Amino acid sequence: MTFPAVRIPEQPKRPTLEGNVAVRDGRRLSFAEYGSPRGPALVWMHGTPGARRQIPVDARRYAEEAGIRIIGIDRPGIGSSTPHLYPNILDWTEDLVLLLEALAIEDLSVVGLSGGGPYALAAGVALPDRVHGVGVLGGVAPTRGADAADGGPIQLAVHAAPLISAARVPLGVALTGVIRGVKPLAGPALDLYAAVQPPGDKTLLGRPEFKAMFLDDLLNGSRFQTSAPLSDLVLFTRDWGFRLEDVKVPVRWWHGDDDHIVPFRHGQHCVERLPDATMTVIDGESHLGGLGVAKQVMDELIGLRPAAGSGE
C-alpha cells in the first residue's frame, strides 16, 4: 500500500542573531533578529499565542533589502524567556529598556500583532523620546476602565481570569505537554484550523511561507514552556497601567474588517481614543490580515522617523 506524499513547507531562514538578554530579578528575555544589524530598529511583538519568530517571511526579506533591523522578542514563559507575570502590561517596558541597552538600540519603532498590540502601545507610553511610531495589527482592546471595549471573544478571558490566574502554572505545563504530543501532527493540525477560519485567514494560512513560519515559531517557541499565552490573558483582563490617551507617539493601526477574534469595532474604539492615530482598513481580511501587509507597515513606521540631520 502506498500513501500520497506529504508536502512539508520549506523551513524559513534562521535569524541572523538569536539569544537571551538578562533583565530584572535574574530573569532573561529571548530574542531573534533579522535584516541589517546597523539599520533602523523595529521591535516586533508577537501575537497570543506566538513567539519571537512570528515575523512574516516577506518582512524578513524586505528588512534585508531595505536595511531594516527587526527584533522579535519572546514574552516571559515562551521560548527561552523566564516565566513571569507582570503586575500590568506597562511594567514589561522596564525589561524592554534593558534589552534595548544590551542590543545597543537607541531609538526604535514597535509593531504589535493582536496580543502584542497592548505591549507595543505600552512602549510608546514609557519611551516617548525613543519610540518614533507604533504599529498595531488587529490589536486587543482594553477590558477595564474608561477605555474598555465591550463584547468580543476577549470577554471569555475576562470571565475566566480568576481561574486562569490561579491555575496559570499547571495549565502552562499541560499546554506544553499537549503541543509536544501533537508535534508530528502540527502541519495537519494547522491545516484543520485554517479550514474553519474566515476566507482571509484561510487564504493566508494556505500560503506555504506563512504556514512554515507559523509552524517554525510554534514548535521552536514551545520546546520548553508555554505559559506566556496564559499570562497574556490575565494581563489583558487587568488594568494595563496606562490609558490610551497616554500614548502620545504616532500610532498606525491596521485591522481586517472581517476580524472574528478582535472585532473591527474594537480597533475603531481604540483609534478614536488615541491622541495621534490613524486606521487602515484591510478590506475582506480577518485577524491575521496585518501579516499580509508587512511591507506597508514597515514603510509607514520607518517613514515616521525624523529625517537625518533634522536635529529631532
Residue-wise pLDDT for 100-152, tens only, equals 999 999 999 999 999 999 999 999 999 999 999 999 999 999 999 999 999 99
Give the Cα separation of 290 and 256 in Å (integer). 7
The per-residue pLDDT for 2 is 45
Summarize the chain as % helix, strand, coil (round to 5). 45, 15, 40
Closest by CA to 171, choosing from 68, 248, 179, is: 179
Closest by CA to 245, choosing from 264, 272, 268, is: 272
pTM (2 d.p.)? 0.91
291: CB partners within 8 A, 6+ apart? 56, 113, 137, 204, 210
Check: CB of residue 121 under 8 Å from CB of residue 136: yes
What's the pLDDT tens digit per position in 250-307? Answer: 999 999 999 999 999 999 999 999 999 999 999 999 999 999 999 999 999 999 998 7
Weakest-pLDDT range from 63-72, 146-155, 178-187, 214-223: 178-187
The per-residue pLDDT for 158 is 86
